[in-house]
Amino acid sequence: MFLSIDAGNSNIVFGFFDLRIKKWRYEFRIETQKNLPLVLLESKIHLFLLENKIKVGEINGVGISSVVPEINDLLLQFCQQFFGQEGYLIQGKSYLKLLVSTKRPDEIGTDLMANMTAAYDLFKQTCIVVDFGTALTFSVVGENGEVLGVNIVPGLKTAIKALFMNTAKLPEVELVLPPYTLGQNTVQSIQAGILYGYTGLVKGMLTYIRKDLKSPYKVIATGGLSSILEHLHDEFDLVDRNLTLTGIKLIREANV
């Protein structure tokens, strides 16, 4: 079984890939904390493995993508101490052996590079990857595997949190699409404004990006929130919430 660790600004995701059936089989999330105690991480993973009847010895490879440098050493120590093996931390030099290339290897997020690696491996053509995470990102890889560029805007939860923290009377609300485009109460008004507003944002951004592309392309959505805006799915050729985990696996395999 292969383990991909995707450490983002909001959550650390642990994805377990069953090599026998060639599918992502289990997923565990923990809130990202820059001062996360190693013993707490180990206890939570230990409990998760017990609940799913996974033996530590079944893990025969670990790849790590982290956009939170403060926890990199913790994750590497965790792999060594808990699984008894080195975790492969993706960094700029990791891209030298990939079909996907970038002129700024030390600037681009390893999660975005994992997304484009997985998308290009799947389609072998120009791809636009829309990642619904803490940030909403649009990453584009060209027909020859070159990174064409990335656009970044605040994510859905980030926008909701900004409203909640910077206004006196607006509550923090659940990300659920309301039945009407015009909210009938305060909660629905926020939900409609954010979710229908982001629908327009995604469609508009894709429209502008498509105008700059000179070759056939595929559009892939990923991220933990990719399933929320269901009425956007006609814009995508594929919705794969495990795309980043797959990219981590591919990058590790190319370098080890």
Q: Could you list the active site residues?
A: 111
Token pair belonging to 75 = 């994750």
Q: What is the number of alpha carbons within 13 Å of residue 70 lying toward its C-beta?
A: 8
Q: Give the Cα separation of 193 and 196 in Å (integer).
A: 6
Q: What is the dihedral of CA 50, 56, 60, 64, to 10 degrees?
A: 70
From the list 127, 123, 134, the residue with the least C-alpha distance to 160 is 134
H helix runs in the chain, sequence order:
38-51, 72-78, 110-123, 156-166, 186-212, 243-255
Contact between 120 and 93 under an 8 Å Cβ cutoff? The reply is no
DSSP secondary-structure letter at 82?
I
From the list 89, 86, 82, the residue with the least C-alpha distance to 67 is 89
198 bridge partner residues:
none
Contact between 217 and 128 under an 8 Å Cβ cutoff? The reply is yes
